[in-house]
Structure 1
């Protein structure tokens, strides 16, 4: 990686589960294979954005995360980035379909004059967290009620006495309805949108085809049914 181009001494931390593990907990498709492909695409999206930002980035999935709770894992991951010599960290997840390169660039720019950056979502969480080393407090950060609707509230309380910048509010993918809603909002020519919709369409076609076969079979069975004495 080209650290020389990073004038503000910041790094991106992509903190996310692998596609295989994520697909078991958040299921947007009907099959395991489709869920794996969906989350592989979402992981690729956030990594591509990180790469295009020209900011040093590190990917931490379950294979390198340390700790037993989410709070412990994300805290350890951030501290490990500081230990590499960086003064601030931009944390990204893999479940914000609306995330764009411009959001990351803005967060990176605002970290020059602010110690804390939050990208709030519509469910009380955050799709991006930027935090400088000088205000990072391990115990307080680890104690945030992660993976709840109180995350944003806790983050705002954490940074109450620091200079903070809020990014535009976006949707995180917490359920199938939100996934479909955000997917429909993407630009018509979005390659990711076309790919994900194709996956879902193929799956729906197979599902409805099987349903139609089952319905036809049941109707035929009812049509030719008769009293028990006529069957034997």
Structure 2
């Protein structure tokens, strides 16, 4: 690993699980959705820790600001103030985000002022910034949580931009249903266990129609294997 990567930190920026469940009711119930996001959080943390890079998790009440943009900008600022020259922010809603992809982003950020992981809906699943290219006010005022934020971020890139592969984020039940077999194997197994838990009856009832719909759409054929990096 390049010695320059010691000046790079990862930032996992999250709502708390209950708020996430209210904002994105993926499982049809708050209890089920919160259980699902706990699994997503664990997976994201595991992938981040495996990079060997410093990881900062800023979640829920730890976030400061009146808007999403202000909270994210303040989170970046807090890590830069610890002395890091490069910060890569991720969330928990892109299950294809792997250790290998995070290391690829860290390497690209050594040569570019901005690294972006675009999503299919015009957003981003990863934003890497150099301290010298970080403008707090401009960053906070971007059109966050819209389908134009990716384009707006590119326009801020004073030191050049590196673009990673396009992926998807899970922000609604339909996306989870369509992309289920693209999830890493460890996540598919975890969600299957949640579906089968007797103590999680509400979650199981909500998920059973989703599971059967998947089987019907696949014609009962064996699913393709999704590699877990």
TM-score of the aligned structures, taking structure 1 as reference length = 0.81
Q: Report the counterpart of residue 127 of structure 2 in structure 1.
A: 129
Q: Report the counterpart of residue 215 of structure 2 in structure 1.
A: none
How many aligned positions are there? 202
204 and 58 in structure 1: CA distance in 2 versus 1, 3 angstrom threshold: closer
Q: 1-side partners of 2:203 and 2:33: how far apart?
A: 13
Q: 1-side partners of 2:99 and 2:151: how far apart?
A: 26
Task: Find 1:104's aligned residue among 102, 111, 117.
Answer: 102
40 and 6 in structure 1: CA distance in 2 versus 1, 3 angstrom threshold: farther
CA RMSD between the two structures: 2.0
Asked which structure has the greater CA Rg, the reply is 1
Q: CA-to-partner distance for each residue in 1:117-176, whole Å, 9 max, x for gaps?
A: 0000001000000000001111111110000111101111111x4221100000011211
Task: Find 2:66's aligned residue among 50, 65, 68.
Answer: 68
Q: Report the counterpart of residue 186 of structure 2 in structure 1.
A: 191
CA offset at residue 111 of structure 1? 1.1
Q: CA-to-partner distance for each residue in 1:26-61, whole Å, 9 max, x for gaps?
A: 011122221111000011111111111100010001
Secondary structure at the aligned position of 2:60 is classed as: coil
194 and 69 in structure 1: CA distance in 2 versus 1, 3 angstrom threshold: same
- Does residue 85 of structure 1 match 2:83? yes
Secondary structure at the aligned position of 1:63 is classed as: helix
52 and 205 in structure 1: CA distance in 2 versus 1, 3 angstrom threshold: closer
- Does residue 26 of structure 1 match 2:21? no
Relative contact order, higher structure (CA 8 A, sep 6+)? 2
Q: 2-side partners of 1:8 and 1:112: how far apart?
A: 11
Q: 2-side partners of 1:77 and 1:60: how far apart?
A: 7
Gaps of 5+ in 2: 209-229
Q: 1-side partners of 2:205 and 2:84: how far apart?
A: 49
Q: Is the 8 A contact 2:39 2:187 kept in 1?
A: yes
Q: Is the 8 A contact 2:26 2:171 kept in 1?
A: no
- Does residue 179 of structure 1 match 2:158? no
Deviates most, 25-34 or 124-133: 25-34
Q: Report the counterpart of residue 226 of structure 2 in structure 1.
A: none
Provide runs of 4+ in structure 1 moved above 2 Å.
Answer: 5-8, 197-209
Q: 2-side partners of 1:150 and 1:100: how far apart?
A: 25
Q: 1-side partners of 2:203 and 2:107: how far apart?
A: 43
Q: CA-to-partner distance for each residue in 1:76-97, whole Å, 9 max, x for gaps?
A: 0000000000001000011111
204 and 59 in structure 1: CA distance in 2 versus 1, 3 angstrom threshold: closer
CA offset at residue 101 of structure 1? 1.0
Q: Report the counterpart of residue 120 of structure 1 in structure 2.
A: 118
Q: 2-side partners of 1:95 and 1:175: how far apart?
A: 10
